[in-house]
Structure 1
Amino acid sequence: MSPEPFRTKIVEIKAIQWDGTDITFFALKAWAGELIIRSSDGSDLIIFEPTGSSYVNIGDWIIKQNGIFSLCPKDIFAWKYEAVS
């Protein structure tokens, strides 16, 4: 799995949607490295952002914009971004 491109009217981003699977976890780790961790029991995903750490819910998106990784809740992502064809 690779990040898919999405854009606002101003800037293009890369994003992967968290679905709770091992495949997606390893894709996120390969992409974002040490900024993504999973709890010891595997139930929680955490991203380390410039402003602190956040828990990632199933359906939320990890985005990369201007070299910075961050969490984007799925409802905000749907409102703000559209797929790039």
Structure 2
Amino acid sequence: MPRFRKRPVEIEAVQWTGDNVNELWDAFSAENIYGPTEKNPDWLIITTLEGDMRANVGDWIIKGVQGELYPCKPDIFEATYEAAE
């Protein structure tokens, strides 16, 4: 069976800490990130190409190669990405 390797790409990402929503809005546009709310202070809703997705405190918000946003769990982020130089 043929094998393939993912092309190396650089992405922009900010980790949701629970108190940096303004940083996320500035980086990615407030139009795509909703929350936190008084009822749900520990998570955000991110509008993605696949629909709305929940991001919990600690998740990374990633801007993909086509400008799309999506949340990523910290363990997946750590296994997939490294700092660009």
Same fold (TM over 0.5): yes
SS in 2 for 1:75: helix
Equivalent residue, structure 1, for 2:78? 78
Gapped regions of structure 2 (runs ≥ 5)? 1-5
| Superposed CA RMSD | 1.7
Deviates more, 1:39-48 or 1:12-21: 39-48
Taking the aligned partners of 1:39 and 1:20, their CA distance within structure 2 comes to 8
1:29 to 19, 25, 28: 25
In the alignment, which residue of structure 1 is the partner of 2:3?
none
% identical equivalent positions? 38
How far, CA to CA, are the matches of 2:17 and 2:37 in structure 1? 18
Cα distance in 2 for partners of 1:59, 1:39 equals: 14
Higher strand fraction: Structure 1 or Structure 2? 1
Q: 1:12 aligns with which of 7, 10, 13?
A: 10
Larger RCO, structure (CA 8 Å, separation 6 or more): 1
**1:79 partner SS:** helix
Q: Which amino acid aligns with 1:46?
A: I
If you compute each CA radius of gyration, which structure gives the higher value, 1 or 2? 2
TM-score, normalising length: structure 2: 0.79
Runs of 4+ with deviation above 4 angstroms: none
TM-score of the two chains, using structure 1 as the length reference: 0.79
Residue by residue over 1:31-65, the C-alpha shift from the partner in whole angstroms, topping out at 9 and shown as x without a partner, is 22210010431513110101011111111100112
Letter in 2 for 1:40: T
Q: How many residues align?
A: 76
